[in-house]
Amino acid sequence: MFEKFTEQARRTIFFARYEASRFGSESIGSEHLLLGILREDKPLALRLLNTPEQIASLRSEMEKRYPPRERISTSVDLPVNGECKRVLARAAAESDRLKHAHISTEHLALALVLERDCVAAKILTEYGVTAAQLELEALSQTGPVASPGSSPDPAPGTPPEDPESVAARIAALMNRATRGIAPTAYRDLTAAAGNGTLGPVIGREGELESVIRILSRRTRRNPVLIGEPGVGKTSIVHALVQRIADGPVPADLAGRTVVAIDASSLLASVRNEKLPQIVNLPNVILYVHGLFDLAGKDTGWGVLEAIHALEPQLAGGSLQCIATGTPLGLRKTHEKAEALVRLFEVVAVLPPGEEEAVRIVSGVKEQYEKFHGVTISHEAVETAVAASRWFLRHRELPDRAIDLMDEAAAAVKVRVETEFGEVPAIRKRIRQIVREMERAIGRHDFEKARKCSDEERKERENLNRANEGPKGEQPATEVGPEDIVEAVAGRAGVTAAMVKSTMQAKNTATMERVASELTAQIPLSGREWADALVAYLAGCSAEEAEQVAQAIRAAKGRIE
């Protein structure tokens, strides 16, 4: 997790440790992390609290609540308390939710406010700082990813230390903060479920119950989900993790931690001898995405390495594993690594029918609505499922319908933002004001910084008004069937009229048979162009469609 922290965020954690020692605290808490943010990221502190006087007032309030005791030497290692650990984990989760590649001071501050019961959250709330304000700060910042091993500058007033000593101390702090948490290559799905960052899972109750039964068995207690890409294998794992987090599971699964890693990262861990860090943790269930596809990607050495690393723990029962793969991957693994297959029980994951797919896509559309700032009609969901049947035949439900919905929503968002021509200009002015404010703070010109802060607040008010738009003039932000049709047409390289005629065609049975015969003869990677054939068939008579089918059969016969 800490490799994702920006250099500034790392310095914040160092300053939090310094503040804890200054206060004579035996551990690093959320209040020290807040003080670290105020000390390290002064521009952010000024944007949140408006004036240097407010910042000083907050510091004074903190000292009233926590009178400093005898100072602890900076050479003494201090642990991170449970409250602060939760804040660090939540900061990582918020970074993932906002699709950021790094964790910055804005994410740390946002996590502090969201951890409502912590001391820092209560103090920030008293000073008028809100989660919405901090989320906006996180979305507007674009700080670089910290380079591993970078070390922060010492806090003012601390004895000078050589860089190696500082780096070693930070490394020790990070190790304590993440004790019992999976290394960076892994994702703690249980923590994500507890934070509410896993998406909702609709349907797949039968497959989920099968996975739970297998995990509760005495032997062959490692499920492998086998299905084509896009059918929802990972979603089933997420549903399991959410159920464990919520509680209604058998006693032997209650309290278990599920950590995820993809197969290639697993091999990297094996080769770097880091795998024992995770397999030796108590109560861990390891989820390896794509484990049963390794054998089909190279000569088989990859899957053999995985076997050598996992087989002793799996065979001895000290580790449980959930794996995924495709039918082809399962067959290849049987051929090259039968010993691995014997340790797993297969759960077949078939594509859902169109009715269930509509239910699944409807269950996740709220996430896309929030991300794109639009609403998605139920008719649009139905159209996405129906259209994907003909025009994304190389993909599986529900993934192909979700992909169409995502693309259509993005198109609507772009259209809305383009029509509001004033919005980009306001955002540009805000960025310029913020940069000027940071330069003023760097020059210790706080009067100039205060004026910039006032200008920024006014421009953000202008931005809110511009986003709302005049009544009756705001562009439509609802994704409807027409938007889905446009997305399909762009994907297939045909006109929207051809897409509509395909979906309204009467000879659907013939079209289905011809399209199936065609796509069955070509590899998955080349099936995209078959969408154009489907569009052509929509304008054909049944006799013409049959002639196409005969031509395909004849060509197949000549090839064979």
pTM of the model: 0.54
* Of the residues 318, 348, 378, the one at which a domain ends: 348
Residue 454 forms part of a structural domain: yes
Backbone angles phi, psi at 388, to 5 degrees: -65, -20
Specify the number of domains making up the chain.
4
Confidence of residue 144 (pLDDT cuts 50, 70, 90): very low
Tell me: do 225 and 122 sit in the same domain: no
Residue 510 forms part of a structural domain: yes
Give the angle 511-514-517 at the CA atoms, nearest 5°: 145
pLDDT digits (tens, 9 = 90+) for 189-213: 887 787 677 777 787 889 999 999 9
- Any idea what the CATH number is for the domain that residue 102 is in? 1.10.1780.10
**Burial category of 50 from C-beta neighbours within 10 Å (exposed 0-12, middle 13-18, buried 19 and up):** middle
Tell me: do 53 and 158 sit in the same domain: yes
Tell me: do 366 and 445 sit in the same domain: no
- Any idea what the CATH number is for the domain that residue 400 is in? 1.10.8.60
Tell me: do 253 and 369 sit in the same domain: no
Query: Which candidate, 200, 214, 290, places its Cα nearest to that of 250?
Result: 214
**Burial category of 477 from C-beta neighbours within 10 Å (exposed 0-12, middle 13-18, buried 19 and up):** middle
Tell me: do 146 and 256 sit in the same domain: no
Tell me: do 549 and 438 sit in the same domain: no
Residue 160 forms part of a structural domain: yes
Tell me: do 313 and 216 sit in the same domain: yes
Residue 157 forms part of a structural domain: yes
* Of the residues 348, 379, 401, the one at which a domain ends: 348
pLDDT, position 173: 41
Tell me: do 325 and 407 sit in the same domain: no
Confidence of residue 78 (pLDDT cuts 50, 70, 90): confident
With 80 as the cut, is the pLDDT of residue 423 above it? no
pLDDT, position 154: 40
Residue-range definition of the domain harbouring residue 527:
354-417+478-559
Residue 182 forms part of a structural domain: no
Helices 496-503 and 378-391 cross at an angle (nearest 10°) of: 90
Least confident range from 208-217, 280-289, 360-369: namely 280-289
With 90 as the cut, is the pLDDT of residue 384 above it? yes
pLDDT, position 469: 60
Q: Is 240 helix (H, G, I), strand (E, B) or coil?
A: helix
Residue with the bigger pLDDT between 118 and 556: it is: 118
Mean pLDDT over all residues of the chain?
Answer: 77
Tell me: do 301 and 383 sit in the same domain: no
Tell me: do 294 and 377 sit in the same domain: no
How much is the average pLDDT of 531-552?
62
Confidence of residue 160 (pLDDT cuts 50, 70, 90): very low
Tell me: do 379 and 523 sit in the same domain: yes
* Of the residues 125, 155, 177, the one at which a domain ends: 177
Backbone angles phi, psi at 478, to 5 degrees: -95, 135
Q: How many CB atoms are located within 10 Å of the residue 22 CB?
A: 19
Tell me: do 359 and 503 sit in the same domain: yes
pLDDT, position 98: 84
Residue 195 forms part of a structural domain: yes
Strand 478-479 and strand 375-376: the pairing is: parallel
Residue 473 forms part of a structural domain: no
- Cα end-to-end span (Å), the chain: 54
- Any idea what the CATH number is for the domain that residue 342 is in? 3.40.50.300
